[in-house]
Copies of this chain bind each other. A is one copy, B any other.
Amino acid sequence: MPVVIMDASIYKHVPGGELVNANIIIKDNKIHRITDNQNEVKSFIEENPETEVLSSKDKIVLPGFVNAHTHSPMSVFRNYASDRSLHDWLFNMIIPKEQLLTEEDAYWTSLASQAEMIRSGTCAFADMYFHFESLVRAVRHSGMRANLTVMPLSNKWNEGKRKTVSNAQEAISLFKKYNDNEMITLYTELHSVYLYDIDMIHVNVEVAKELNTGIHIHLHETEKEVDDCLREHNKRPIELLREIGVFTRPVLAAHCVVMNDDDIDILKEDKINVCENISSNLKLVSGIPRIPEMIDKGVNVVLGTDGCASNNNLNMFEEMHISAIVHKNQMKDPTVMPAHKLIEMATKNGYEAIGFKDRAGDVAEGMLADLIMVDISSLHCTPINEVAACIVYSMQASDVDTVIINGRIVMRNKEFVTIDEELVKHKVRTVAKRLGL
C-alpha cells in the first residue's frame, strides 16, 4: 500500500550533509513524489485512502544502508572462538562446525542476521554462503533486497579436505529460477583464488557471461593469499584473475587489503567495486586497506560487515565510524574520509556495487523506496550540529525507528512487520546448542 511521510527531514548527499524538509509519497515500490505542497499530499491520500501516513517528528529520513559483503547464516557463530588467529579460528573452530549446519538451520540463522540488519537500518545486502535456497526463502520472508551468489563450483568435503567440483548447470538453473533483478539479484560466487583452481575460475567466468551477471569474490584479503598465489602462479591474485577474464564482468571484491599501486590501478581500470570490511580486517589482523587512495583514483568503494562471526555484529553505523577514523589516522590527515563520504559509501555506492546503479541510495523521486527513519532526538545526537558528522560519529543503530524496503514497511517504530523476532532468536539459540558452541 502507498506510504506518505509527512514533514520529513530528508538527508541529502552534499558535503557536511543537509536536511531538506518536504513530504515523501511512496507508491508501489518507488519514491513517487517529494513535495512541499500540502494540497498535493492531501489529494494523493484522498485518492489512495489505503495510504499509511507516517509522522517524522524527531526523525530524519535517510536512504537505507547496503551491507555489501556478509555471510548471513554465520550469526550463530557470533562470539564463538574470538581472539584467536585467523587460521586457528577458521579451520579448527568455524569450518568443522559449519559442516553441521542444515538447510533449515541456514534459513533461521540467515533470517536472524536479516532481522539484525533491518533493526540497524540496512535495506539491502550482498551475501556469500552455501545453502542457497534457504537464503532465498529467508530473503523472501524478511522482505530485504539481496544480492546472493549462485555457485558454479561447489566445495565438497572429502575426508576432511575441500574439493572443488563443477556445478555450472545447477547454478544456471538456480539463476533462471530466482533472479528477478529487483528483490533478488544473483552474482556468481568465486570465493577466492586459494579455494578455487584455474579451471574452475574459467568455468565461473563463462557462467557469469552466459547469465550476463557479475561476480562476488574475496580479493587480496591477506598477505598469505597474495604470497601463496605468487608462489604458485608467479602472479598476484588480481593479475591472475584479470588474465583469466574475471574483470570483464561486473565484480564485487571484498577486502582488497594487500594492494600495491599497480593493483589499485587495476581496480580503477577494470571498474572493480571494492567492499571494505574494516572491523573484520582489524579483528583478524589482515591489515588496513588503502581506501582513501582508491577513492582518490575513482574506485567505487562500499562498506560491509563481513560475517558477524568475525565482527561480531552487522552494524553499518560502526563500519562507517571505524572506517572514517582509522583512515584519517592512516593518512595522517583529519580531512580525508569526511562524514558525508562515508554515508555515500554505505548507501548509494553500495547499491551501485550490487547492481542498482542510480536506482536506489538517494531519497529522490523515481528511486526504489529503500528508506530508513532515524530518531535524531537522543542524548548522543544532541545537539545535532553538522548532520553528516552526527550520523557517522554519534548515531547508534538503536536510533533506527522505521525501515521501508521496496516501498514496504518492514519495521515500524522498532517493531518488525515481517519477522517474528522471538521465534528467530529461539531458533538460533537452538542451533547454537545443537552445534555445541
Contact = CB atoms under 8 A, between A and B. Distances in A.
Nearest to A338: B83
A287 to B, nearest CB: 7
B379 A329 contact: no
Contact of A425 (B311, B313, B382, B429): B382
A326 B326 contact: yes
Interface string A326-365: 1011011111011100000000000000000000000000
A424 to B, nearest CB: 8
Contacts of A428: 382-383
Interface in A388-416: 389-390, 393-394, 396-398
A283 B83 contact: no
A335 B87 CA distance: 12
A377 B425 contact: yes
Contacts of A332: 285
A386 B84 CA distance: 13
A190 interface: no
A83 B339 contact: yes
Interface string A307-329: 01001111100100110111011
Contacts of A328: 282-283, 285
Contacts of A437: 383, 385
Contact of A312 (B78, B116, B331, B389): B389
Nearest to A425: B382
A82 interface: yes
A79 B332 CA distance: 20
A329 B287 contact: yes
9 contacts: A120-B380, A282-B325, A312-B393, A313-B394, A322-B322, A379-B421, A382-B425, A383-B429, A397-B398
Interface of A: 75-86, 89, 112, 115-116, 119-120, 279, 281-288, 308, 311-315, 318, 321-322, 324-326, 328-329, 331-335, 337-339, 377, 379-380, 382-387, 389-390, 393-394, 396-398, 421, 424-425, 428-429, 432, 437
